[in-house]
Amino acid sequence: MSMQTVIIGLGYVGLPLAREATMAGLNVIGLDVNSGVTSALNNGRSHIDDLSDRDINDMLKHGFSATTDSRVLAEADVAVICVPTPLSNEGGPDLRAVVGAVSMIAENIHKGMLVILESTTYPGTTDEVVRPILEAQGLTAGVDFSLAFSPERIDPGNSSFGAKNTPKVVGGHTDACTSEAAEFYEQFVDRTVRTKGTREAEMAKLLENTYRHVNIALVNEMARFCHDLEIDLWDVIEAAKSKPFGFQAFYPGPGVGGHCIPIDPNYLSHNVKSRLGYPFRFVELAQEVNSRMPAYVVERAQDILNAREKALKGSRVLLLGVTYKPNIADQRESPAKEVAERLLAKGSVVEYHDPFVQDWDAVPTALRTEDLAVGVAGADLTILLQNHRTYDVASLAERAISFFDTRGEVDSDGAGITRL
C-alpha cells in the first residue's frame, strides 16, 4: 500500500510537489484553506504558471484530490507544510499560516507520522515553533514521530529545473528523522542533500537567497555610478564573465521582486538582530540599494524626457512587463508597481503592457495598452521593465520615440535608446 501523503498549501510550492509525488505513485491529498483553489483543482483547473490544466487532470487520474478538511491528516503517513511566510511588520517571517498548519497536524498527530516543514523561515523555527505545538499532544519528536525541515527551491517559470531535478536539502530533528524525510523525497526527486539538522537546512535556503540579493545589489549600485562615469556596465559584465573561474554574472535591473529575494534575506537579518543584538550589515545594505532602484528608474526616465525638453508631468509613459520575472504571471513584490506609482505621483499618464497580466490590480489607475505597436509609437517614453519572450525588443525600440531599457536587451548606441 502506498504511503499516504497530505501536502498542506497548494500554491507554487505545494502543487508541483504534489504532482511529482502523485506521478511517482504516492497516495497524495492536497489540503488548502481556500475552497476556491481546492474546487478548481478537483475540476482539473490549475492556478499556477508551472502546471497546466492537463497536468492537473493527469494528477487526478493518478488519484490526487484536494480538500479543505483537515481530518484527512488523521490517516496521513506524511504531512508536508508548504504555506506562505510573508514578511511581517517587524521584519521577520509572518508565521501565522505555519502555526495554523502545524496546529491542524497536532490535532491529528499519531505515532509513526512524518512531519516536514518546507516554508521559508528563520533558523530555529522547526525546533522552537513547530516542535512544541506538535509535542503538546504528548508525543515526542524523534521518538514517537519524525520531524524535518526541507526548504522549497521552486523557481517559477524555470523550464530546466523543477521539483524533481532540483536537489532537495533535508535536515531532521534527529539523524533518524533526516533519514526518514530523505527516503520520503527520494521516491520522487532525483537527489537529496542531508544536513546536520533542521537549523542548517533552514540556514541553507537563506544563504542561497542572500547570496543573490547581495550580488544583485552590487551590480545595481555599479549601474548608478557607471552611468555617471559614462561606463557601459553591460559591456563590463560581458567582459568579466569571460573569466572561466571565480566570477558569476549578475545583472542590474529596476529592482528585485518575487517570493524569495526581496523577502527571505530579511528573515535572517531580523533573526540576527533580535537574537544577537547586532545588524547583518550586508543584507541591510543590499536591501537599501535594491529597494531604491525603482526610484532611480523614475529619475532616469525624467532625465530622458528632459533631454527632449519634455516634462515627466503629462507625458505618456508605457511600461513593458509588470511581472517580477519573465514569462510568468506572478506579480509578487514586482518593482513595476513602485515605478508606476512614482510616475503617477509625478503626473505621468502611465500605460502598461504585459502578455501575462490583463488587469493590473496592483496599480488600477494604469491604463492597459491592447495594441502594443500603437502603444509604443504613441508613448513619449517606453520603459522595458521585464523582457517577456513574446517581445521583439529590438523592433519595439526602433518604433519608440524614446526607449529606456532596464534589462540590457538592446544596443545602447541606437537613436532614442537608453540603457540602465
**How many CB atoms neighbour CB 36 within 10 A?**
10
Burial 112-125 (b: 16+ CB within 10 A, else e): ebbbbbbbbbbbeb
Contact status, residue 226 vs residue 233, Cβ threshold 8 Å:
yes
Q: Looking at residue 232, what DSSP letter applies?
A: -
Measuring CA to CA, which residue among 314, 316, 322 is closest to residue 339?
Answer: 322
**How many CB atoms neighbour CB 211 within 10 A?**
14
Query: Which residues lie below 8 Å from residue 281, measured CB to CB, with a gap of 6+?
Result: none
Give dist(CA 357, CA 49) in Å, integer: 12
C-alpha cell at 294: 525603482
Give dist(CA 27, CA 191) in Å, integer: 21
**How many CB atoms neighbour CB 370 within 10 A?**
9
Rounded (10°) CA dihedral 350, 252, 419, 233: 170
Please report the DSSP string for 129-147 in residue order.
IIHHHHHTTS--BTTTBEE
Give dist(CA 25, CA 101) in Å, integer: 25
Query: Which residues lie below 8 Å from residue 1, measured CB to CB, with a gap of 6+?
Result: none
Give dist(CA 16, CA 214) in Å, integer: 28
Give dist(CA 114, CA 110) in Å, integer: 9
> What percent of the chain is helix, strand and coil (3-state, nearest 5)?
40, 15, 45
Catalytically annotated residues: 260
**How many CB atoms neighbour CB 277 within 10 A?**
7
Contact status, residue 63 vs residue 27, Cβ threshold 8 Å:
yes
Contact status, residue 284 vs residue 404, Cβ threshold 8 Å:
no
Q: Which helix (H) or strand (E) holds 268?
A: helix 264-276
